[in-house]
Every structure is written in structure tokens, then in C-alpha cells.
Amino acid sequence: MVRRILIPTLERLLGFPIESNLLVTSLNKSDNRIDLTNGSRLWFGSLENPEMAEGPNIDVVHLDEGRLVRHFDLAWQTILRRIRGSVPGRFPTGAFITTTPDAPGSGLYRFFEDPSNKDPQSKVYRWSIFDNKYLTQEYIDSIVRSHTKGLADRFIYGRFAQVGGKTFTFDSTLHVREITKDLLTDIRYGVDFGWTNPACILAVGLDHDGRMWVLDEVYGSQLPTQKLIDALQDFYSRYGHGKIICDPSDPETIEMIRRAGFNVEGNKLKREDGIRELGSRFTVQGDNKPRIFISAKCVNLISELAEYDENVKENDHACDALRYTVPIRARLHGLVSFGQVGDK
């Protein structure tokens, strides 16, 4: 991003190469560093791995698109630790973030806007899309037409708001998280068949609270049955044995998987019931957590969840595989039990 976007943009605005600027003594492209004639030094980098951002004392940090930082809390803590001043007490120090807001409850929200937790020295400056004089009216009108509810709050008015797909209230800053498999009490696998359309296998675990953790995925087109069997065997070796619940539309493939030694069955739950049960898990519960988390390695599932529309049967193969694995919650006298749905 630095090499492909940031540096070329700076050079376009300047009208000449950065190293030709009279204020620049050197541009080190391998280190993404610019040294200036007054002794200042600028670094450009990524926060994908927050620990790699550790380094010497700095004076000022600018973080762009903070809501897209995968591990924001860790990254922000790293930044705060580094703002100790290159010469303590000599220069003003601080940090600022430019970003579209994300969801209430996120690290970004807690630090800057949550009344009970925000840093008392922080300040939020909010602009709407209408305040940007560089946007054409045609563009603004198109965004206003296509963005409603939470999307409008975020991308038009610059507010912290919950945004998910059209069906699920999925938010990557909230629902993407990892877990150690040793903390799981049950493993199950969802399989959606496909050939021209992608097939998908998801490895899913349940913890002692019945919370779902999506651990891994296999996703691809034109995967023969033996490839699916090999992938299931690999998942068994890595995550443990468990029930496999499949797309019921292909009984022959289900039987081939069964003959390979797997505990497999077709999904018996109606589509609308499965969507409702899955959708309810994205809502934050009384313990301030949702009832489902997804590993960052499940990139295809994450992509589908962000735009899933139950009324459109496309781009839904990973979502279907996930739907098959959802345990049904039966509430009776305040108790919650989890189990596989039977024929009735």
C-alpha cells in the first residue's frame, strides 16, 4: 500500500519525485522511510501484525482507516507505548486517526466515543459525506440511494453504527476472533456441495457456553468427492472427529463420504429456520459477546457474511455450510440445551 498508493500519491501532489524535494535528504524505499533536512524522520508501515510495529520512541502517529486494522486494540496499545517522544519533553506528542467509524463496542469506539470508557483527552471530529467538497453531486446522490440504516450512519454521516449483510448483523471487527481448540467441547463440520459453483467445508467448534467458533474452511470450484474426503480427513486430524452435516441435495455424495468412514448426515433443518437460528448468533448477548466467532483464515465465509441476502441464492455456499452446523437452542423454563435436530 505504501509503495503502490501512498508514495505515488505524494509524488503526484508534489509534481516531482519525493527525493527531489528540498526538504528531503533521503528516501529509503526498502525501509519505507523519509528523512528530512530538519532532522525529522517519517516511517510508513502496516499494523497487520501489531508486534512488528514496536520500535523507537516517536512523537506523532497518523493511522489511516483505523477501523480496518484487524487487531485494533493490540495495534493501538503498541502505538500508545511508542509515543514517548523522540526527545522527551522537547516536542508535542500525540496521535490521530482518520477513518470511517465502525461498530459500537469496538476498540475504536471504546477509546474515542464510549462515554464510560473513552480517553478523556481524546476528541472526535465528525464530517458527513456532504462536507467533502471534492466529491461530485452525482457520486453523493449514488451513495445516498444505495446506503441505508447502519450503512448510511457510517458512510454518509460518519457515526459509529452496526453494519452487517442484508440478513446477518455481521461485523468483522466484532465477530472475527481466534480460539485454542482445547477450549472447545464439540467439533462438527458443515459441507455444501458444488461443482461449477464452489463447494465449501467448514470446521466448527462449540465451547462450554455453546458459543460457535468457525475454525477453518475449504472452498473451491470443481472439487471431486475424493478431494472433499481428503479435506475432511485433514480436518479430522487437526481439529478432531465430529458429526458432518451436509447439503441434503446430493445423497450419492453423502453415501460416498459415509463409506469413507465418516459420521455424516444430510441437513434436516428448513432453510428459513437455519437462517433465523444462525442470524440470532451474531447479536451481542448479556455477557457482551455474540454467540459466534469466525477465524480470520475463513476469508470466503467472511466475504459472504458481509453481503449475504437470504432472498438471493448466490454467493452463499460458505453461509450454507455454516447454517448446517448451527445447533438449535431449545428454551424451556429458562434452561438452554443444544442438540442436533431430528426428523420432527
| Residue 223 within a domain | yes
Please give the pLDDT value at position 77. 92
Looking at the chain, the whole-number percentage of residues with pLDDT higher than 90 is 53
Residues 6+ apart with CB under 8 A from 212: 204, 205, 206, 281, 291, 292, 293, 325, 326, 327
Determine if the pTM surpasses 0.75: no
| Residue 138 within a domain | yes
CB 184 within 8 Å of CB 213: yes
Is the domain of 58 the same as that of 99? yes
pLDDT, tens digit, for every residue of 174-212? 898 999 888 999 999 999 999 999 999 999 999 999 999
| Residue 344 within a domain | no
Is the domain of 156 the same as that of 217? no
Is the domain of 94 the same as that of 140? no
Is the domain of 187 the same as that of 285? yes
- Domain of residue 154 covers 128-163
CA 309 centroid distance within chain? 18
| Residue 281 within a domain | yes
Please give the pLDDT value at position 169. 80
| CATH number reported for the structural domain that contains residue 299 in this entry | 3.30.420.280
3-state secondary structure of 159: coil
| Residue 157 within a domain | yes
Is the domain of 58 the same as that of 108? yes
Give the model's confidence band at 10: pLDDT under 50 very low, under 70 low, under 90 confident, else very high. confident
Please give the pLDDT value at position 332. 32
Is the domain of 133 the same as that of 71? no
pLDDT, tens digit, for every residue of 153-172? 888 988 888 765 568 888 77
| Residue 93 within a domain | yes
Is the domain of 216 the same as that of 329? yes
pLDDT, tens digit, for every residue of 294-316? 998 998 998 888 778 888 888 89
Q: How many structural domains does the chain have?
A: 3
Answer with the residue of higher pLDDT: 141 or 103.
141
Q: Of 71, 105, 127, which residue constitutes the final position of a domain? A: 127
